């Protein structure tokens, strides 16, 4: 007959495994792998006589983890506590190896720190991505097995598990924004009339629209500088809550987040010098070996040009604020961009003209990019619908589609 004590132990074991999910397994394994890499970090620091503690880098790691945690609905203070606990565990392992190597140093060379840190970043991303639900206390045995690393004490393991089990989640992203009292909006500030100017004095349609969203949610707004090449990375890493400033809906972006109802519909069309209107009448006449197409890197303009231009030279210009000056100065001939930008730039510069007036080469919709949260999307969609119904959106566009300095 099975003893009561044995039966109880089996019941506890089965209960712990019943509550143990695949996400938990990936999470615990990733934490364990990250801790195992601390020996390589210690080796590099020992060989190069570097201190174990790097408070500046620790601060950056925690700030980045908190930003990424927002995407998972994690409350920032609990994310910070968890990553502090990881850092303390990492330092304990490094101190352990430093003590071991006082009498018998490790064989050179040490693993390259740049490679180790790249692996740490990947594991950090995986850890945050799997922090999607509360961890059951009964998962402790599995956690202890997955994070058993030489140099890490059992008490430090348990403190790390306590930190992970105390992670708290918001019920939805709107509640998170309202609890923080601020909505962080990423803008490139280089794409008039949607967003331009500076962080201190941002201007444009989406700046005004972003302020209306903040007012609607009852919070303040904080503008976060991003760029077209880094927009998706910054969005995924949680540097901001919303991406605005003339962001087009694309299949790739839809994989990473939700979009609001479109507030502008348009498409790509070419712009160039008015003197070249008779020379460039369609894409075929533009796509010639002697023609110079200019693009701003990272956005849909460059993507369109590279997909449709085979013979013309494609020039990449890094600053979208001054890209039209390249055409005016005859250092480039044509740019494919959104029709609304063509309308604005031809108003600002009488020597620039739409080369295919009234014709769109693509269909594009501008909208607000946000996390995959239906509550937040419903709120923002409601505001946009109301603005359309009251003709406020039309008025907003008319106000900004004027020549400005």
Beta bridge pairs of residue 222: 184
> Is 73 in contact with 170 (CB distance < 8 Å)?
yes
Q: Residues near 292 by Cβ (< 8 Å), separated by ≥ 6?
A: 312, 313, 315, 331, 332, 333, 334
- Give the pLDDT mean for 85-93: 97
With bands split at pLDDT 50, 70 and 90, how would you rate the model's confidence at 403?
low
Report d(CA 124, CA 167) in Å as an integer: 16
- Please check whether residues 307 and 374 belong to one and the same domain: no
Q: Of 259, 191, 298, 340, nearest to 306 (Cα)? A: 298
> Is 75 in contact with 177 (CB distance < 8 Å)?
no
- Please check whether residues 154 and 179 belong to one and the same domain: no
- Please check whether residues 279 and 160 belong to one and the same domain: no
Predicted TM-score of the model (pTM): 0.82
User: For 110-163, what is each residue's pLDDT tens digit?
Assistant: 999 999 999 999 999 899 989 888 898 999 999 999 999 999 999 999 999 999
- End position of a domain, from candidates 165, 200, 215: 165
**How does the average pLDDT of the chain come out, rounded?**
92
CATH number at residue 65: 1.20.59.10
> Is 191 in contact with 341 (CB distance < 8 Å)?
yes
Q: Residues near 241 by Cβ (< 8 Å), separated by ≥ 6?
A: 70, 173, 177, 183, 184, 185, 370, 371
Report d(CA 390, CA 392) in Å as an integer: 5
Q: In percent, how much of the chain has pLDDT > 90?
A: 88
| Both structure tokens of 230 | 């880094």
Q: Provide the pairing of β-strand 182-187 with 242-243.
A: parallel
- Give the pLDDT mean for 246-253: 95
CATH number at residue 197: 3.40.190.10
> Is 153 in contact with 202 (CB distance < 8 Å)?
no
Model pLDDT, residue 14: 45
User: For 364-396, what is each residue's pLDDT tens digit?
Assistant: 999 999 999 999 999 999 999 999 999 999 999
Distance from chain centroid for Cα 221 = 18
Report d(CA 89, CA 152) in Å as an integer: 7
Residue 392 falls within a domain, yes or no? yes
- Please check whether residues 115 and 199 belong to one and the same domain: no
- End position of a domain, from candidates 117, 145, 165: 165
Model pLDDT, residue 267: 95
Model pLDDT, residue 11: 46
- Please check whether residues 244 and 199 belong to one and the same domain: yes
- Please check whether residues 191 and 96 belong to one and the same domain: no
Q: Of 70, 245, 267, 306, nearest to 167 (Cα)? A: 70
Residue 405 falls within a domain, yes or no? no
Q: For residue 38, what are the domain limits?
A: 4-165
Model pLDDT, residue 20: 52
- Give the pLDDT mean for 322-330: 97
Is residue 42 over pLDDT 80? yes
């Amino acid at each position: 007959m099975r003893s009561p004590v044995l039966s109880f132990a089996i019941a506890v074991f089965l209960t712990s495994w019943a509550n143990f999910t695949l996400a938990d397994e990936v999470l615990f394994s990733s934490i364990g792998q990250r801790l195992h890499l601390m020996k390589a970090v210690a080796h590099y620091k020992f060989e190069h006589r570097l201190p174990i503690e790097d408070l500046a880098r620790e601060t950056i790691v925690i700030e980045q983890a908190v930003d990424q945690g927002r995407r998972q609905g994690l409350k920032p203070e609990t994310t910070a506590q968890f990553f502090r606990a990881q850092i303390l565990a990492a330092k304990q392992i490094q101190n352990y190896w430093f003590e071991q190597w006082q009498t018998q140093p490790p064989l050179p060379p040490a693993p390259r720190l740049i490679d180790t840190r790249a692996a740490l970043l990947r594991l950090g991303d995986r850890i945050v991505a799997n922090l999607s639900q509360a961890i059951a206390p009964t998962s402790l045995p599995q956690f202890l097995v997955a994070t058993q690393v030489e140099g890490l004490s059992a008490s430090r393991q348990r403190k790390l598990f306590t930190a992970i089990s105390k992670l708290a989640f918001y019920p939805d992203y709107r509640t998170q924004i309202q609890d923080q009292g601020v909505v962080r909006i990423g803008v490139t500030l280089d794409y008039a009339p949607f967003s331009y100017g500076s962080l201190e004095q941002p201007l444009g349609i989406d700046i005004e629209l972003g302020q209306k969203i903040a007012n609607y949610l009852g919070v303040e707004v904080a503008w976060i500088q991003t760029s077209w090449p880094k927009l998706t990375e910054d969005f995924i890493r949680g540097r901001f809550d919303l991406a605005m400033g003339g962001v087009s809906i694309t299949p790739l972006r839809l994989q990473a987040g939700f979009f609001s109802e479109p507030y502008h519909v348009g498409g790509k069309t070419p712009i160039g010098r008015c003197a070249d209107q008779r020379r460039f009448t369609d894409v075929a006449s533009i796509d010639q070996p002697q023609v110079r197409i200019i693009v701003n890197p990272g956005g849909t303009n460059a993507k369109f040009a590279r997909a449709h231009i085979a013979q013309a030279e494609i020039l990449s210009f890094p600053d979208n604020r001054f890209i039209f000056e390249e055409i005016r100065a005859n250092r480039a001939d044509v740019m494919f961009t959104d029709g609304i930008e063509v309308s604005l730039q031809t108003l600002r510069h009488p020597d620039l003209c739409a080369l295919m007036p009234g014709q769109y080469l693509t269909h594009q919709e501008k909208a607000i990019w946000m996390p995959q949260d239906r509550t937040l999307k419903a709120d923002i969609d409601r505001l946009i619908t109301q603005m359309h119904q009251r003709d406020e959106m039309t008025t907003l566009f008319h106000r900004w589609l004027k020549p400005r300095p």
